[in-house]
Structure 1
Amino acid sequence: MTAVKPGLRYSAEHEWLNDEDPVRIGITAYAADQLGDVVFAELPEPGDTVTAGEVCGELESTKSVSELYSPVTGTVVETNEDVIQNPERINEDPYGAGWLFTVDVTEEGEILTPEQYAEQTGTEVA
């Protein structure tokens, strides 16, 4: 069973975010497991504006294509170029090397605690 990492916050669409400035965003281990092997990542570019709850990119896996939703509104500061070149990082280390992008946040969308996200996904915080 996939565990939810404590110390992060989550969106209902399976993205995680930290409390740093700028905020770092990625997809959860649960989402990575559901996607299967990620083979392509289309991410927002530095300077792009993202809006909480709206599509900002997509991830393609051997199973499907999944839209990526931003959990916050703001300006993209950095994109993880390593993930674009090596999308398997998302599956290998979704909370570490598989992060996706950072945002200078002006507004947050609906954010879940680790416990709320674990309840939504039927997993546990560990």
Structure 2
Amino acid sequence: MTSIVVDISDPVDLTTLDSLVVPPGTSAAEQFATAAPESRVVKAFNTTFAGPLTSGQVAGRPLDVFIAGDDDAAKQAVTDRVSSAGLRPLDVGPLRCAGHASWKPSDGSVTKAAWAAGSSATPCCSTAPPWP
């Protein structure tokens, strides 16, 4: 069985904080998948800071964890971990959705540079559920 790699990175350009350091149209998760083709890469946890993640909730509501990946079994394994921690997993589609950065944290704050650049407020894939 191949390893599951969970990409929690948020490749923001730390010199400007207004863009990403990966090429447009891609994501760090996709780059990891290319670099480690024997692994199953899942994007998760990158919209969550340590404090809310530790508490598992914001304003009394379970924390949303957005999950993207191409391997259904790997996504399910991550989903199961997220659920067992009392968090709410949301499947946003395949790994190509990891670079859209149009994921909204459950507290309504904006944590993604691409959001500020005008990304839509919906998951990148039409098959993903609408925001609750």
TM-score by length of 2: 0.24
TM-score by length of 1: 0.25
Higher helix share: 2
Higher strand share: 1
Higher RCO, Cα 8 Å, sep 6+: 1
Structure (1 or 2) with the larger CA radius of gyration: 2
